[in-house]
Every structure is written in structure tokens, then in C-alpha cells.
Amino acid sequence: MSFCIAIDGPAASGKGTISRAVAARFGFEHLDTGLLYRAVGQLVLQGTEPLEAARALVAEDLRSDGLRTPEVAQAASRVAVIPEVRAVLLDFQRAFATRVGGAVLDGRDIGTVICPDAPVKLFVTASAEIRAERRFKELLAGGHDVTQEGVLDDVRARDARDAGRSDAPMVVATDAIVIDTSGMAIEDAVSAAVAAVDAARA
């Protein structure tokens, strides 16, 4: 039987960590849909046209080095405003969402566009300052040359682009449970997510 858990939210809100933990807890497969957009963004930075890059995407591109850089994140959010790019990536995400055995998808439009009928929808968020601090630490640990102010600017620019686009903007689905991780330990956020899934499965 298929069971889709939709987890949306802005950059560095904790949705990736929560998604991986929930998938492991319930034995579901996890798809980080941001990687699809990052992989297209990376191909565009290398000179490919956005639509051509989306059509040419193969699984190996999702394991490519450098997908987590700030430059690729910005490129991802620029290609993500293009409706034709989103349309090309839709079928793969929908097929993944209906896989037998259950699926957790995280992104920006999972609960609104990819799986509007998902039995569990979470919107994971936190203040821009806290998210920038988390992402700054991750990037520093990854050896990137960044400043906290620069990361905050990037996060805000991406939030504005993701929320402001006309096709599949980042919005809280009307039936989503909001988890604000600003003042929360990640274990507590995971527990809240697990409790929401348990309630939906009961």
C-alpha cells in the first residue's frame, strides 16, 4: 500500500533531518526533491539550458559533488520558477510518492502540488536568522568560504523567490501541521513529526 508523507518548508528549517528520521522510523523511502532542482541548477551553471537540463536529468546527477554549495542553491531556486522545468520533474516525484511501502518527500510544493491528497502534511519552518545560522555552520563544516550575513542574504533571497513565484509557490497547505523549529531541539521536532504520522495511521 502507498502512504505519502509530505514535508515542506524553507531552506535549513530542519525538514531534511526530520524527513530522514521519519523515513527511518517507519521504513519508508525518502526523496529530497530539492536535489532535483539543485542538479538542474548545477547543469545550468555548467552551460546547459534549464529545460534541456531537466529533461536530461539522470539518477547519477543527484549524487554529483557540489550540489550543496550556496551558488547551486541559488541556481536551483532560479530554475525552480520555470513552469516547464517543474512540469518535467513532476512525474518522477508523483511516481515516487505512490511507491508501495510508503514514501517521505520533502520540498516546497509536496503537500500542495505533488501529493495534494497526502494523509500527513507537515510544514517545517524557523526564523530566517536561525535558519541562516544553521546553514552557516553546515557550510563552514563543509569547508565553504561563507559569512553568516551572506548566508542570511541568500536564505532571504531564496525564500522570497520560492514564495513569490506563480507556479507552485512555497505556501503552507491548508491541511498542513506547522512545526516551528526555532526554539526546538531537533529530537523534539522529530517526535512531533512522528506523532503526526502515528495519528494519521491510527
- Nearer to ligand CDP among residue 33 and residue 42 (C-beta): 33
Residue of 109, 139, 173, 197 that binds ligand CDP (CB under 6 A):
109
Dihedrals phi, psi of 200, to nearest 5 degrees: -70, -30
Residue of 7, 17, 23, 37 that binds ligand CDP (CB under 6 A):
37
- What amino acid is encoded at 146 in this protein? V
> What is the sign, positive or negative, of the torsion defined by CA atoms of 180, 37, 149, 163?
negative
Shortest reach from residue 146's CB to ligand CDP, in Å: 13
In the shown chain, the binding pattern of residues 54 to 83 toward ligand CDP, with x for contact by CB under 6 A and - for none, equals: -------------------x--xx--x---
State yes or no: residue 112 binds ligand CDP (CB under 6 A): no
- Nearer to ligand CDP among residue 34 and residue 201 (C-beta): 34
> Which residues make Cβ contacts (< 8 Å) with residue 84, sequence separation at least 6?
50, 51, 54
Judged on CB neighbours under 10 Å (0-12, 13-18, 19+), 44 is buried
Shortest reach from residue 119's CB to ligand CDP, in Å: 19
Shortest reach from residue 109's CB to ligand CDP, in Å: 5
State yes or no: residue 12 binds ligand CDP (CB under 6 A): yes
> Which residues make Cβ contacts (< 8 Å) with residue 88, sequence separation at least 6?
51, 54, 55, 57
The closest alpha carbon to 96, from 197, 2, 171, belongs to: 2
Q: Is the CB of residue 177 less than 8 Å from the CB of residue 196?
A: yes
State yes or no: residue 107 binds ligand CDP (CB under 6 A): yes
Which window, 10-18, 50-58, 95-103, 137-145, contacts ligand CDP (CB under 6 A)? 10-18
Which residues lie near ligand CDP (CB under 6 A)? 11-12, 16, 33-34, 37-38, 73, 76-77, 80, 107-109, 158, 162
